[in-house]
Structure 1
Amino acid sequence: MRRTPCLRATSAPTRRKAASSWSARRLKTSSKRWRWPVPSEPVHNAGHTHPPRTLVTGGSGFLGSHVADALSDAGHEVTILDAMESQHLRPDQRMVVGDILDDELLASVSNGMDYIYHFAGLADIDECETRPADVAAVNILGTVRLLEACAHVRRFVFASSAYVYSAAGSFYRSSKQACEAFIEDFHEQRGLPYTILRYGSLYGTRADERNSIHRLLRQALRDKRIAYHGTGEEVREYIHVEDAARISVQILDPVYENERIMLTGTEKMRYADLLQMIREMLRGEVTIDMLPSTRKAHYTLTPYNFSPKPGKKLTANPHIDMGQGLLQCMAEIYEDLHSDHGDA
């Protein structure tokens, strides 16, 4: 039987598939390439008699839910704090529904934790551009309040972005910069160990329309047509969310303490090649419409920008092949489109 005790339950939230839930509630709510050794075994809780206890904020969302599962697989006792109940909660995970700005709740739920993974926040760049005050309240203030509640933990792991020092990203980028600065100051002033993970272009199961590859695949399967805004020459280094989640657990190794880590894919791919790959996987039964871009691209060739605080790149080895990962996503979207609640 699923165990889902809540420390402070809110009214039943509206479930939205694979949503990054903090935007659904509350307020509507150049890096150097490194290849560090990656531990192959789960992290041991050295000096402790209990399994590591880990809190994952935003653990109902796309990336957060996968990281929560990877932590559980590594032997952690996982508690998820989110504004919405997780659709992916496992029997060995605990769910707490609540608000990232609730100081009393944060103090209660972080008590006794060994590690805290912080994914909660407004993450859609377009949404953030129109809601700067909400971005500051949820992303920045929410992070600071969580930092104040968890000074005792063995590691604070923060989900940042590869765009943190890019020219794009607007208020979302600014919030990540501010959060990174606060985390480093908490380390300097209060000795809080941390690891900052700067995630690049993610794809995989449990995503929604805010994820670029999910949008393309959903259009292809539903409409037999993809409308792409751009030239096709844009390049990305996609990383499968399961690879990113696995690395997100491995960085608890002491070698990654108090470091900024870049997590992107292992190979560059042009959008034109990605679109052609999708078309071939669907036996050519998809029309590709190349349209003028209506927005500023995050980047054309690389997410790397010179900054005073570069991150060190860590890649998954082995990793999920892009073709296999796309097929996995297609299967999930196809099932959703042909179920009773699909939008076919």
Structure 2
Amino acid sequence: MDKKTRKILLIGGNSSVSRYVMPLFSNDYEIITVGRRDCDINLNPNKSLADQLPYHADVVIHTAAAFGRETDDEIYETEKYNVLDTMELCFHLKRMNVKHFLFISSIFVHLQETSPLYSIYNISKQHAEEVINYCLERDGIPFTILRPSQLYGKDPSFIKHHPFLYQIVETASKGEKLYLFGIHGGRANYLHIKDFAEVIYRVVKKRVFGVYDCVTKTPNTYLEIARSVYELTNNPVNIEFVKDKKESGQGFPFDDTIYKKIDYYPEMSIKDGLLEILNII
């Protein structure tokens, strides 16, 4: 089967994830992007999805997501976009004779209700996973669900999702004082978008099915991140801890099941990732 007969449908063609995976697949697949704007197929919300999608795709990769979590309208839109629209897509996969469906979920599905990060976003991702499992098990369509930890990179689209990380980079790069909460400053688990794109590519190429967490081996402390930026920009470390404030962020347990299956572990260190970001600010 040559390139022209193998098709990948990228739902969310303008997402940062899609922009990074497209070059990896471009030599082996015909790529068709689908989204709300500036895609090969610009979806019209007033038309049936069945009337807008192609008749055939070998692989469908769903990277689109809504992140609103504050107002009533945002909460409704997040649930509709992440769950109901995903459900409608699942109904059409069998018609398109899809051989592999890959859904980008989030490590935040593991959040407990007591977490300050708990929101309609992770609730909707949990719902979407349940819908996918139910619908595609019913229809016998192989699928993969990947749950990446916090994705970052030089693409400006990441700033709105992780403002504190980029605030640290901007403040420390100017040599200004940085305030961190608690005794240790908090932590997160940042996975570089290049590493995650490679995971997606290998999952598709090796036809790995199932549900997997994608995190880095060691959580990144905000203290480590800040010190790295001060060092990279030749500024003296200027950090003050606000000890009466609760530490921000959250780490997640490391599970390398997916990395073993695809013979690839994340390669981008947080320091190299920060250097990449510093080159654009």
Shorter-chain TM-score range: 0.7 to 0.9
Q: Give me the whole-angstrom Cα distance separating, in 2, the residues matched to 1:192 and 1:294.
A: 48
User: Structure 1 residue 62: deviation in Å?
Assistant: 2.2
User: Structure 1 residue 255: deviation in Å?
Assistant: 5.3
User: Structure 1 residue 179: deviation in Å?
Assistant: 0.6
1:207-237: per-residue Cα shift (whole Å, max 9, x none)? Answer: 3232243332234446845454555443333
Contact 2:173–2:235 (CA under 8 A) maintained in structure 1 = no
Give aligned pairs, total.
267
Matched, 1:69 2:23: yes
Q: Secondary structure at the match of 1:163?
A: helix
Q: 1:95 to 1:184 in 2, by over 3 A?
A: same
Q: Give me the whole-angstrom Cα distance separating, in 2, the residues matched to 1:166 and 1:241.
A: 22
Among candidates 171, 192, 196, match of residue 244 of structure 1: 196
Residue in 1 aligned with 2:221?
Answer: 270
Paired AA for residue 81 in structure 1: V
Unpaired stretches in structure 1, ≥5 consecutive residues: 1-46, 86-93, 334-344
TM-score normalized by the length of structure 2: 0.81
Residue in 2 aligned with 1:142?
Answer: 85
The runs of at least 4 consecutive aligned structure 1 residues that moved more than 6 Å come to: 292-296
Contact 2:180–2:240 (CA under 8 A) maintained in structure 1 = yes
Q: 1:290 to 1:63 in 2, by over 3 A?
A: farther
Q: Give me the whole-angstrom Cα distance separating, in 1, the residues matched to 2:66 and 2:101.
A: 19
Q: Give me the whole-angstrom Cα distance separating, in 2, the residues matched to 1:52 and 1:229.
A: 50
Paired AA for residue 320 in structure 1: M
Paired AA for residue 271 in structure 1: Y
Paired AA for residue 284 in structure 1: N
Matched, 1:323 2:266: no
Contact 1:262–1:314 (CA under 8 A) maintained in structure 2 = no
Q: Secondary structure at the match of 1:141?
A: helix
Among candidates 187, 192, 200, match of residue 235 of structure 1: 187
Matched, 1:303 2:252: yes
Contact 2:8–2:29 (CA under 8 A) maintained in structure 1 = yes
Residue in 2 aligned with 1:22?
Answer: none
Contact 2:153–2:273 (CA under 8 A) maintained in structure 1 = yes
TM-score normalized by the length of structure 1: 0.67
Residue in 2 aligned with 1:161?
Answer: 106
1:77-112: per-residue Cα shift (whole Å, max 9, x none)? Answer: 212222243xxxxxxxx633335x555355433432
Q: Give me the whole-angstrom Cα distance separating, in 1, the residues matched to 2:20 and 2:244.
A: 31
Task: Report the RMSD for the aligned CA atoms in angstroms.
Answer: 3.0
Q: Secondary structure at the match of 1:265?
A: coil
Residue in 2 aligned with 1:40?
Answer: none
Q: Secondary structure at the match of 1:75?
A: coil
Q: Give me the whole-angstrom Cα distance separating, in 1, the residues matched to 2:244 and 2:81.
A: 30
User: Structure 1 residue 287: deviation in Å?
Assistant: 4.0
The one of the two structures with greater contact order (alpha-carbon pairs below 8 A, sep at least 6) is: 1
Q: Secondary structure at the match of 2:34?
A: strand
Q: 1:255 to 1:65 in 2, by over 3 A?
A: closer
| Identity level (%) | 20
Paired AA for residue 198 in structure 2: R
Paired AA for residue 55 in structure 1: L
Q: 1:174 to 1:272 in 2, by over 3 A?
A: same
